[in-house]
Structure 1
Amino acid sequence: RSLPMRPPPPAMRTSPRLPLAVALGCVLRCACLSPGPSPRLAGEASMSRRAALVLPVPVLALAGRPAVATEYPCRTTSNPFFTTKTCYRVGLVEGRLGKCLADENCMSTSSVQSASKYSPPWDYTPETLNPDRAWKSLKLALLQTIQGARVEAEDVSTERLYLHVTAPSAVPPAGTDDLEFVLDPKEKLVFFRSASRSSVFLFPLQQPVSDNGRHLSRLQNVRSTLGWGSLSLEDMGLAQF
């Protein structure tokens, strides 16, 4: 008497295998999007009144994590035609907005020793003497005049107000610009820094591809929309800032 035949086991389902090129591309893309190592916080330093025009302001990220200054190590990628250097630096360093690096497209009220990267702070009193109103006007002007602008962080918990906004870069086209502002109600001034996260270097050039003054023209457009004034070092009575 023959035994009944057992039915064959069900076929195992296997996921389709990705082509090697596609898998490698996914790995590289994830690596490029990785935020990098944990940020380090810059300590607060004591300052004279002249240097204290911008006191340390905690930067409250939208996730709620405070930071005085956030900085990741710069990342560099290269191909046979150009090199891209990407740096992320926001927040206050020793009580003030950061200076511009020598090899980045940037404008800052802190870069007083670099004529090509320095721009004086703004005086908001032509519009109003009320700092709260000036702050609201600034945010509105940024969002209305800068295409793609987005508020990333804002701190109004201290006397001096801090704002971090991002916007699309001119160079590289898919890059991001960081714009930071500090409003000092005692001095009735607004300090700022506008910098591209990524700088592109064509071989064998040692300086980044220029954005043709995009940062300066964008800032001037915002100030013109607000109707605010612009100071100089002589107006401020400062040797350095």
Structure 2
Amino acid sequence: MQDAQTKKHRRHFIASSLALGLSTLASGVQAQARPAKHVLVVGDSLSAEYGLARGTGWVALLAQRLAQHQQPVQVTNASVSGDTTSGGRARLPGLLSQHKPSVVIIELGGNDALRGLPLSGTRDNLRWMTQAAQEAGAKVLLLGMQMPPNYGRQYAQDFEQLFASVAQERKAALLPFFLQGVADGKDPLALFQADRIHPNAQAQPLMLENVWPVLRPLL
């Protein structure tokens, strides 16, 4: 009787251990299947592949690079052509709730300046977006922009400085000039589309190389 009971308990123990082991294994597989990091890009036409073939923009190239390096990072491009910082501010809460990113790249502000919007509003929107992303648990990378000299020296300086001021205040990462090597090259028009505003396909790898050294430590 005691032997039979002992065998029964042993069988129960083995079955329970096996079930626990399978459950743990399944959980481990699920954990490995989920990306360890999630990068959310909130930008305008410079990041939305305006005028480019799908999959050739710098954000798509970033996702390809991460995949080639076998890094478990998901990249979501939530950029909208023509968007301003106020548009990004309105969209961001829903994006944070939906994607729960670990890193948010904010590439906005150029259209604010092109439309002559007050720089104080641009600064406030970038500050708000950066703080909202940080409070949601994400690290933030701001992609700074510069305006052509024909907008006036003071305006250009104030516009360039607002990115640095927000980054410093919120302790966020900053790329001072997103289009370095593209807009300030020997032949400024060589890397732009016919509209002279949007970088062409040849410029996209250069834009990624500008972003990569600043983004990589955040991952």
With the length of structure 2 as denominator, give the TM-score of the two structures: 0.29
TM-score (normalizing by structure 1): 0.27
The structure in which a higher percent of residues are helix is: 2
Which is strand-richer, 1 or 2? 1
